Amino acid sequence: MKVAGFGFRQSATLDSLRNALAACDIADVVAIATPIDKVHNEAFASLAADLSLPVITIEAEAMQAVKTATQSSKVLEKRQTGSVAEACALVAAGPNAILLKSRNVSDDRLATCAIAQGDPT
């Protein structure tokens, strides 16, 4: 199972999310994931609809339990994880997931995307 994880600020636009996703290989991606408190963001909902992919919501505790490849001090302070996008992708991809693409930051610095693959069972 291959999943794209997203982290973003509330002010992120659909273009921000698309730009973060652009550097990621989304072939065979079966879902997109984001923290549960971000799922109702209009831009993210639009992206999910445009991609016709289901959304997996990730609880804060699950994100915090995952070791991420990259570390943002601001994100670590606010979310207790080094990368929201990487943590969401890894958790959503299931047990023993591996990171295929570490977080890519949008040009406007409002969104990040990472890709993970794993076994959902």
pLDDT band at 120 (very low <50, low <70, confident <90, very high): low
pLDDT at 26: 83
pLDDT at 121: 56
Q: How many domains does the chain have?
A: 1
| Parent domain of 40 | 2-117
Higher per-residue confidence, 121 vs 118: 118
pLDDT at 23: 83
- Residue 76 CA to residue 31 CA, distance in Å, equals 25
pLDDT band at 20 (very low <50, low <70, confident <90, very high): very high
Q: Once rounded to an integer, what is the mean pLDDT over residues 6-20?
A: 96
| CATH value at residue 79 | 3.30.420.180
Beta strands in 9-59 (DSSP E): 29-35, 55-58
| Beta carbons of 31 and 92 less than 8 angstroms apart | yes
Write the pLDDT tens digit of every residue in 73-119: 999 999 999 999 999 999 999 989 999 999 999 999 999 999 999 97
- DSSP code for 120: -
Write the pLDDT tens digit of every residue in 30-57: 999 999 999 999 999 999 999 999 999 9
pLDDT at 103: 94
